[in-house]
Amino acid sequence: MHDMDGAENTNRKKKLIVEDEKDKREALFTAMAAEGFEVHVAKDGEEALAMTLDCNPHIVISDWNMPGMTGIDLLKAVRSDPGLSGLPVLMVTAESKRDQIIEAAQAGVNG
């Protein structure tokens, strides 16, 4: 899915939300769009990775726990791609395990 209203406005900061749960994805979209951001959404890491090339977001906000390509796998793929390595990635999770926080930091998460 792309910008839910189909409009393309290059003057607004683009956010890519990656969330497998539809209700959470829609809530994040609605909140950010209401603030004037151009918002794109993906349901998993694989879709998000492809979309980074299409929509050229200013930041990726990703869930950690998703089927298929997880958020941490997406982060590692972004960091290993020379064209995407500088893209800010924010990880969102209900998990608070120390080893996950360390893994994300070592993989280059921005927050």
Q: How confident is the model at residue 109 (pLDDT cuts 50, 70, 90)?
A: confident
Q: Is the pLDDT of residue 89 over 60?
A: yes
Whose CA is closest to 103, among 75, 62, 66?
Answer: 75
Q: Is the pLDDT of residue 5 over 70?
A: no
Biggest distance spanned by C-alpha atoms of the chain? 41
- Name the strand (E) or helix (H) holding 109: none
State the chain's mean pLDDT as an integer: 86
pLDDT digits (tens, 9 = 90+) for 31-76: 999 999 999 999 999 999 999 988 899 999 999 999 999 999 999 9
pLDDT score for 17: 97
**CB-CB contact of 55 with 32 (8 Å):** no
